[in-house]
Amino acid sequence: MKILSFKNIIIFIITILILYSAYWIFLSTKLKSEINRFANESNIISYDSIKITGFPYRMEAQIKNLNINEEIQDSSFRTFSPLVKVDINPINLKKIVVRTKIIESHINMNDVFLDISMEEVRSAITTRDNTLSEIIIAINKADIKFNNLELDTINKIYFKQQTNEDLTGNINLSAEGSDLIASSSGGMKLELKGGYTLKNSNVNGDLQLEILDLSNNQKLFSAPIKIQDNVASFLFIPLIDLNELFYSF
Note the maximum CA span of the chain: 82
pTM over 0.75: yes
Please, are residues 99 and 123 in contact by the beta-carbon 8 Å criterion? Answer: yes
The per-residue pLDDT for 245 is: 56
Sorted by sequence, the CB contacts under 8 Å of residue 92 that are 6+ apart come out as none
Dump the DSSP string for 101-152: EEEEEEEEETTEEEEEEEEEEEEEEEEETTEEEEEEEEEEEEEEEETTEEPP
195 has pLDDT over 70 = yes
Give the model confidence (pLDDT) of 85-131 as tens digits: 999 998 888 899 999 999 999 988 777 888 999 999 999 999 988 78
- Chain-centre distance for alpha carbon 45: 17
pLDDT the model gives residue 239: 73
CA separation for the pair 220, 135 (Å, rounded): 29
